[in-house]
């Protein structure tokens, strides 16, 4: 295989990151494509982290005074940079995170989409005028910038998830500090460089408006515990969220948590099987099963089980797994050895609780001893056992049977996580019931679409152990602002609310 290191260095250079920056320290960055060390970076020191937060705090104080549409102009310029560099940045995502080419490009498109959205939004940070109960009074609601926003992101969406947060946070008048996954810091360096290009074009963006902290968990902790960071948006495992949430709560900071998912699809008797097959394949095997929104459980009506499962197995056998740089590849590598080990353990546990496993084996280990290419696994389960109720961040699809619609919804909701969900049916009653209050308990509910691949226009996030946070579209921007309720008395008397009398 060609050297990933050399290609990554070339791409980064084109994106404005000097080669010397790639050998600044001892923390190795490895490509999941072949396990090759592609950079060795230094962690941000505690002193430098404090300095970064100081700068971000000062940047916030200047930035909040800039009119929002002008702030939107910076984000628009950044979108132009992303458009111009979509190909190399997307390819860097492929090299560092192992995503197939089309998904790497798609991720940059997701960044562009949210920036365009945020630039438009910058003229629509609208508050309310509310009817006052008192004569000659006006009651208003104004949205103000919040403060320094910390973003902690995961390896699987190394650039888009930051962009969801940063684009909104910036037009809302905040500064941003990003702690990317220690597995994908090069993508972050490239994005930072493009942001700086946009800031230079913009002219008067304050120093420290959007910056990086690099390193592991301890580095991210600077954002969790510093009182000057008003909001932390963290994406990762439920275990991470469990560690982070109480610390943020202890200092009354805001949190947006996007944690584990255990997303299911229900296949009903009337389902369009051809459409469902494609949706299931992308949902379960796309990004090698490493999306928060990956389809992990399939709940199939007994009448269509035999029509669907053999065909699904055939699709599983046919997908091309391998080097994500090759156009025909649909499933790239796992991010690393630990993921493979978790997958192996989950499959063993599933088998020991009655599951029948197809696939799941590692291959090409001789050729790539330090990379983890696996055949996605399909596991027919007799019931929703403990292993099925857990999120294993790997391409495992557990398949279960149901007889009655109510049972399918019950199985669907009977997991600790609540991110995304889907139903395949042409029956209006089933579709609407799944979308209703007594249907799916997830933040995202899809009909005749798999659970992954959401657009930026909707709010993204989920309930229960997924953490309750929302990112991206709809009215999510309000999370990055503080609401101020103002009452103006333009009369000459002082009527008190609720008819209270206090005559002095």
Which parts of this chain interact with ligand UN1 (CB under 6 A)? Answer: 110, 156-157, 161, 235, 291-293, 452-454
**Residue 113 contacts by C-beta under 8 Å, 6 or more apart in sequence?**
455, 456
Nearer of residues 108 and 454 to ligand UN1, judged by Cβ = 454
133: buried, middle or exposed (CB in 10 Å: 19+, 13-18, 0-12)?
exposed
- CA 276 to CA 157: how far, in whole Å? 25
Nearer of residues 161 and 399 to ligand UN1, judged by Cβ = 161
Residue 494: CB atoms within 10 A of its CB come to 8
Least distance CB 324 / ligand UN1 (angstroms)? 17
Least distance CB 281 / ligand UN1 (angstroms)? 15
Nearer of residues 474 and 484 to ligand UN1, judged by Cβ = 474
Q: How far is CA 5 from CA 37, 96, 186, in A?
A: 7, 10, 11
Least distance CB 344 / ligand UN1 (angstroms)? 22
**Residue 260 contacts by C-beta under 8 Å, 6 or more apart in sequence?**
237, 238, 292, 391, 417, 419, 465, 466
Select from 65, 49, 59, 75 the least CA-distant residue to 477. Answer: 75
DSSP letters spanning 224-243: HH-TTEEEEEEES-HHHHHH
Q: Pick the catalytic residue from 7, 85, 258, 471.
A: 258
Least distance CB 388 / ligand UN1 (angstroms)? 20
**Residue 431: φ, ψ to 5°:** -60, -50
Least distance CB 291 / ligand UN1 (angstroms)? 4
Q: Pick the catalytic residue from 115, 187, 268, 292.
A: 292
Is residue 126 part of the annotated active site? The answer reads: no
As given in the structure block, the two tokens for residue 191 are 């994005």
Strand partners, 75: none
- CA 49 to CA 440: how far, in whole Å? 42
Least distance CB 246 / ligand UN1 (angstroms)? 22
Is residue 442 part of the annotated active site? The answer reads: no
Give one word for 477, left, alpha or beta, with left for phi > 0 and alpha for psi -120 to 50: alpha
Nearer of residues 175 and 290 to ligand UN1, judged by Cβ = 290
Nearer of residues 329 and 466 to ligand UN1, judged by Cβ = 466
- Catalytically annotated residues: 258, 292
């Amino acid at each position: 295989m060609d050297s990933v290191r050399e290609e990554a260095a070339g791409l980064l250079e084109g994106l404005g990151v000097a080669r010397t920056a790639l050998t600044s320290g001892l923390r190795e960055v490895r490509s999941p494509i072949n396990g090759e060390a592609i950079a060795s970076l230094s962690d941000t020191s505690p002193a430098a982290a404090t300095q970064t937060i100081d700068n971000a705090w000062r940047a916030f104080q200047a930035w909040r005074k800039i009119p929002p549409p002008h702030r939107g102009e910076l984000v628009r310029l950044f979108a132009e940079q992303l458009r111009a560099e979509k190909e190399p940045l997307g390819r860097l995502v492929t090299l560092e995170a192992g995503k197939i080419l089309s998904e790497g490009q798609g991720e940059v498109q997701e960044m562009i989409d949210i920036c365009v959205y945020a630039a438009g939004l910058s003229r629509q940070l609208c508050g309310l005028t509310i009817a006052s109960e008192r004569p000659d009074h006006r009651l208003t609601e104004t949205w103000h910038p919040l403060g320094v926003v910390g973003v902690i992101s995961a390896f699987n969406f190394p650039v888009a998830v930051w962009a969801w947060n940063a684009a909104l946070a910036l037009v809302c008048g905040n500064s941003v500090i990003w702690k990317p996954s220690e597995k994908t810091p090069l993508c972050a360096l490239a994005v930072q460089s493009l942001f700086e290009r946009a800031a230079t074009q913009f002219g008067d963006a304050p120093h420290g408006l959007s910056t990086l902290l690099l390193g592991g968990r301890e580095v991210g902790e600077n954002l969790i515990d510093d009182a000057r960071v008003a909001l932390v948006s963290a994406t990762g495992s439920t275990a991470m969220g469990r560690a982070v949430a109480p610390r943020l709560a202890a200092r009354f900071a805001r949190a947006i948590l996007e944690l584990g998912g255990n997303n299911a699809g229900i296949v009903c008797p009337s389902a369009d099987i051809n459409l469902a097959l494609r949706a299931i394949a992308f949902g379960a095997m796309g990004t090698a099963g490493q999306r928060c929104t990956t389809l992990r459980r399939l709940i199939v009506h007994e009448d269509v089980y035999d029509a669907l499962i053999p065909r699904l197995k055939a699709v599983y056998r046919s997908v091309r797994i391998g080097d994500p740089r090759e156009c025909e590849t649909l499933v790239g590598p796992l991010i690393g050895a630990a993921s493979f080990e978790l997958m192996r353990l989950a499959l063993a546990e599933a088998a020991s609780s009655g599951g029948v496993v197809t696939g799941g084996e590692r291959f090409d280990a001789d050729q790539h001893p330090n990379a983890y290419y696996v055949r996605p696994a399909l596991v027919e389960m007799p019931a929703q056992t403990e292993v099925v109720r857990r999120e294993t961040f790997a391409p495992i699809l557990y398949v279960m049977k149901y007889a009655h619609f109510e049972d399918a919804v019950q199985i669907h909701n009977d997991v600790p996580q609540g991110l995304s969900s889907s139903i395949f049916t042409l029956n209006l009653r089933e579709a609407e019931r799944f979308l209703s209050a007594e249907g799916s308990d997830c933040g995202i509910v899809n009909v005749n679409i798999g659970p992954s691949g959401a657009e930026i226009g909707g709010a993204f996030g989920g309930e229960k152990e997924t953490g309750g946070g929302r990112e991206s579209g709809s009215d999510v921007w309000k999370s990055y602002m503080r609401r101020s309720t103002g009452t103006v008395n333009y009369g000459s008397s002082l009527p008190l609310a609720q008819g209270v009398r206090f005559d002095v």
